[in-house]
Chains A and B, each alone.
Chain A
């Protein structure tokens, strides 16, 4: 209940501070359960520079939320008997977070790093007004701010995220807001302390299609204005198409491809990414043609398939002389800053993409 167990000692985790603003190295987060250990995140690494946007894409259950909660230090009971087991390094602006004390990480939360959640209705406390909830986060990190100043700040934030009549809305409860307005309020809450890292976990999934675009525009504008680094998590590549500088594709708790966004869209080098591209909703496509999901079901994170975890669903698995079923493919460079994990020879992949995939996209 209290944070008394917190250690304040300097981190001794191996590795040196990286130069990039956020650096995640070989992050693993495993949950012991009655059925076995759920390897929700199993060796994810990425870098994120100041003011840049990273899109993490993958279908449901691929470990996207667990990754973001790890960065925020929001997993409970880490290291306790039945709690999740975490390893790897998370460097935020020169400070390592996995080895850091709970209290240290808490102080960064809501201040240096903030998070927007998927469902703004359940993510806000039903009994407190939107203003109270913004002010609370603001004053937690700015105890010197008086009530009046904090309230003005909240009104300004609401105004900034495009909520009409912010001076009235500030005193309303979340249930009095529409879905889109609620997500805007949630964003205002996250921005209360001008965080340098903003993580948006499926910020538009719970919203109407028309509202989705508005919220994405808002996030982009705010990022430019505040200069924060942003991680956008989504299962829909379309969401990050215009927003992300880099994209990381997750499958079964692992990264299968990552690289600059334009490369991921123009020269994707992983069959799973092809599948995601094919299932991307696009306005210029006929409705029935849209949303062809990748065939098959997501893998069990307790018993990942041997070899390439994607092989039971991959149409090209039989073109690798059995390697796909026996050996885990490693992330290898396929271009500048562009990595993919697939056994198919690169030329074969490029040929398949240009001949079979690209014409259908």
Chain B
């Protein structure tokens, strides 16, 4: 087990290195393709050559590519100082670079915004797990009844409707039409006003959760139906176990295991859904940063979000794999 974990950790490091290399490559390739000098992003078009040269030195852009790459990697691990004489920007580890917009390190912004995305994601995840899995189980047990049909049609809608649509429709209905909720205010935080924060997050949570809950309901239903047909479920009944144990223990155990895998992957890949949801509800999270980075051509910001997201996905997968080895005794750790 220990060896397995070590090997997987090594794997993680390699994966992250690859992602870092690629993002760094993009940092070089994009300006090359755009025929622009990366320095120009940090400074006005009419800046004088001395200032440009100064910034070049400060950002290390005067050094050869391999050295820049090395400094970039090193910055990620131990942090770095961008210095030109006395003009110093300290970028603590993990240093994801300097934003072209704010001229400050990207990381603190990301760190701040990740809490927004995190709370969006966590709340949505709880919702979609509870409702998605719950609906799937009920549908499977009430196969081909009215409940099942309604649930599956709703789920189909959830899978096929984009977040813009459900999000905007939900806002239009509950905020502007019925007036039950206030529009989400991005400046309200959990600590500043928990009540307002909660009601502001409600629609974003539901919107994001709906997308996933639909997938989970369908997946749970299909898995559960398969499991219910297994011989060992019949064995459980043959032992005289009551139905609640047969379903709640034996069938659920087998149903939840594959769902856990999918959940791990979805958590990692959640960013896609989060970007759109944050955008729809005007939340200032990682998704906002990514979008902002793209529209403002802030390459270090995009690189930061990318690397950060990659880290998330890789870690989520690692955790799922480890958990899987714990839940499914048949998995060989080799």
Contact = CB atoms under 8 A, between A and B. Distances in A.
A106 B240 contact: yes
A137 B242 CA distance: 11
A173 B232 contact: no
Contacts of A129: 329
Contact of A123 (B235, B257, B328, B330): B235
Interface in B210-265: 230-232, 234-245, 247, 250, 253-254, 257
Nearest to B240: A110
A336 interface: no
Contacts of A107: 240
Given A74-B238, A122-B230, A127-B253, A2 B243 contact: yes
Nearest to B248: A1
A125 B239 CA distance: 12
Contacts of A110: 238-241
B126 interface: no
A140 B241 contact: yes
B237 A117 contact: no
B327 interface: yes
A227 B198 CA distance: 66
A136 interface: yes
Given A1-B141, A117-B231, A122-B232, A127 B329 contact: yes
B237 A109 contact: yes
A173 B329 contact: yes
B22 to A, nearest CB: 39
B243 A3 contact: yes
A115 B328 contact: no
A348 to B, nearest CB: 44
Contacts of A141: 240
Contacts of B230: 122
A175 B235 contact: no
Given A1-B244, A140-B240, A140-B241, A125 B329 contact: no
A3 B246 CA distance: 12
A294 interface: no
A85 to B, nearest CB: 19
Contacts of B242: 3, 106
Contact of B234 (A108, A111, A123, A192): A123
Contacts of B238: 72, 74, 109-110, 114-115, 117
Nearest to A192: B239
Interface in A41-74: 72, 74
Contacts of B257: 127
A69 to B, nearest CB: 8
B232 A126 contact: yes
Interface in A113-168: 114-115, 117, 119, 122-129, 136-137, 140-141
Interface string A245-273: 00000000000000000000000000000
A230 B198 CA distance: 64
A137 B328 CA distance: 22
B232 A136 contact: no
A114 B239 CA distance: 7
A175 B240 contact: no
A124 B250 CA distance: 10
A75 to B, nearest CB: 10
B240 A109 contact: yes
A109 B247 CA distance: 17
Contacts of B232: 122-126
A136 B249 CA distance: 11
A17 to B, nearest CB: 23
B234 A1 contact: no
A55 to B, nearest CB: 20
B131 to A, nearest CB: 18
A125 B236 contact: yes
B321 to A, nearest CB: 17
A140 B239 contact: yes
A270 to B, nearest CB: 32
Interface in B175-204: none
A140 B254 CA distance: 21
Contacts of B327: 127
A105 B242 CA distance: 11
A225 B107 CA distance: 74
Nearest to A111: B240
Contacts of A173: 329-330
Interface in B95-149: 141
Interface string A1-15: 111000000000000
B231 A122 contact: yes
B249 to A, nearest CB: 9
A100 to B, nearest CB: 14
Given A173-B329, A175-B329, A124 B240 contact: no
A136 B239 CA distance: 8
Contact of A74 (B237, B244, B245): B237
A107 B242 CA distance: 9
A108 B238 CA distance: 9
16 contacts: A1-B243, A1-B247, A3-B242, A106-B242, A107-B240, A109-B237, A109-B240, A110-B238, A111-B240, A114-B239, A115-B238, A117-B231, A125-B253, A140-B239, A140-B241, A189-B235
Q: Which 9 A-B pairs have the closest CB atoms?
A: A110-B240, A137-B239, A109-B240, A110-B239, A122-B231, A125-B232, A173-B329, A123-B231, A115-B238
